[in-house]
Amino acid sequence: MAPSKKTYKGCRDFYPQDMRVRDFLFDRMRIIAEQFAYEAFDGPLLEEVALYKAKSGEELINEQIYSFTDRGGREVAIRPEMTPTLARMVANIHKQAAKPLRWYAIPNLMRYEKPQRGRVREHWQFNVDIFGAPTNLGEVEILELIVSFLTSFGATNEMFSILLNDRRVVDSVFTTLLSLDEDSSYKLYKVIDKAKKVSLEKLDQMINEILVKSEQQQIFKDYLNIANFEQLNSFLAKYKIEENCQEFVNFVSLIKDQPYTPFIQYDPTIVRGLDYYTGVVFEIFDKHPDNNRAIAGGGAYANLLQIFNETPLAGIGFGLGDVTLRDFLETHKLLPDLSKPEHDLIIYYTDDNNQNKSFELARKLRQEQLKIECNLGTIKFNKIIKSAENKGYTFVAIVEERDGKAQVQIKNLKDRDNKFFNLNETQEIIDFIK
């Protein structure tokens, strides 16, 4: 039987038109990360499964990981996320590195998921992380970076919001107020993480299975009803847990008057599914109802290096997926038209005698960094414009004989401007088409 022409489930082929979009998005990721002085890094596609078992959480390990035993008997996995690789790399060098460390990467990751809108099995993820920043200032910078990234496409706070919470708040509610043991705390974390994905009745049922006492249920309802930072402050004061959450309260006052403040909203249901977060956690959501998957998620993790028996080094960062980003930009019409390639000029000739002259002109212009297509073979004069328009060109060059001398005619297909040049007038040609 012939092999299928389809991709493996949940994976994508990137034809040139898809690559143009991908390159556009990745270029923007690199530009913004580098504007904030983050440096690129990368790691291997395969890691030992043990790396993820340490801190990534049950869902990732039991349901989503692609793992196998290699020929040497090692249990390995295709990376489902980048943070453990990043932590492993940082653990190797952090003692001698100047802090803070600011790193970014755009890895492809694989998770065994049910493909649906915003969810695939292979996706690319813009990862930006900072290690060893002074208290709360890494958090402040990471939020500014991600907002700069999304607003660089023209996005506004009518289109997306950053839903923010802090694991220390949740931990205080679970341990100090609800007196939950580790096991019940873990279960309740998973319930909140799913809060937006299940019906209210189902949510109530899941909560009541863990919180059996009515006063526990009341406190937890109060917690889930917190709608903004003022209400959070009142809740912390009412239940006397301000002290445990002081760092988050300080952080909230730090981000009060930042340009990105209007994008940020407190949300008690944001806890994040990955186990390593210890402080601020956030997810970015599109406000359009068509896109209900998070565009990005991240948070602060103080203890990730300890899995390698290293001294603690606090980190904070986020991952932003290419699929959810593209859905967001397309829904809000923020993606430029990339349906045609953007080359500078196409050169045609109608007579074989001008073939080498056309190649020579192309060579000279490429040396000046222009992107030049040379039409291979002769073409009838009256077919030139249509051919160039179909390929999406604005400028067309036609190498032809005029008064016994080879010349090039350049046409601007947008404003129909038209000019003749000698073949050696490279700079004049560049000035005309730039």
Q: Which residues would be at the binding site for ligand HAM (CB under 6 A)?
A: 81-83, 111, 113, 119-120, 123, 125, 127, 129, 274, 294-299, 317-321, 323-324
Instruction: State in angstroms the smallest separation of the CB of 119 from ligand HAM.
Output: 4
Q: Report d(CA 328, CA 288) in Å as an integer.
A: 8
CB of 8 to ligand HAM, least distance (A): 14
Supply the minimum distance, in Å, between the C-beta of residue 82 and ligand HAM: 6
What is the distance between the alpha carbons of residues 155 and 72, in angstroms, rounded to a whole number? Answer: 49
Output the smallest distance, CB 1 to ligand HAM, in A: 30
Give the nearer residue to ligand HAM in terms of CB position, either 82 or 347. 82
Name 418's Cβ contacts closer than 8 Å, sequence gap at least 6.
409, 410, 411, 412
The H or E element containing residue 82 is none
Nearer to ligand HAM by C-beta: 314 or 410?
Answer: 314
Q: Residue with the closest Cβ to ligand HAM? A: 321
Strands 101-105, 39-40: pairing kind: parallel
Rank residues 235 and 318 by Cβ distance to ligand HAM and give the closer one.
318
In the bound state with ligand HAM, the residue whose beta carbon lies nearer, of 129 and 400, is 129
**Shortest Å, Cβ 11 to ligand HAM:** 11
Closer to ligand HAM by Cβ: residue 272 or 411: 272
What three-state secondary structure class fits 380? coil
Q: Of 118 and 361, which has the nearer Cβ to ligand HAM?
A: 118
Q: How far is the CB of 148 from ligand HAM (least distance, A)?
A: 17
Q: How far is the CB of 300 from ligand HAM (least distance, A)?
A: 8
With vertex at residue 324, the alpha carbon angle to CA 159 and CA 107, rounded to the nearest 5 degrees, is: 130
- Give which of 170, 89, 165 is closest to 127, Cα–Cα: 89
Q: Least distance to ligand HAM from the beta carbon of 85, Å? A: 10
403 phi/psi in degrees, rounded to 5: 50, 45
CB-based contact 410:432 (threshold 8 Å)? yes
**How far apart are CB 287 and ligand HAM at their closest, in Å?**
15
User: Residue 293 and residue 217: Cα distance in Å, rounded?
Assistant: 28
* CB of 273 or CB of 341, closer to ligand HAM: 273
Q: Which is nearer to ligand HAM, 53 or 364 (CB)?
A: 53
Between residues 252 and 281, which has the closer beta carbon with respect to ligand HAM?
281
CB 295 within 8 A of CB 282: no
CA dist., res. 299 & res. 276, Å (int): 9
CA dist 183 to 186, 273, 367, Å? 5, 15, 66
Alpha helices in 194-259 (DSSP H): 200-210, 214-224, 229-238, 246-254
User: SS3 breakdown of the chain: % helix, strand, coil, rounded to 5?
Assistant: 40, 20, 35
Distance CA(229)–CA(226), nearest Å, equals 8
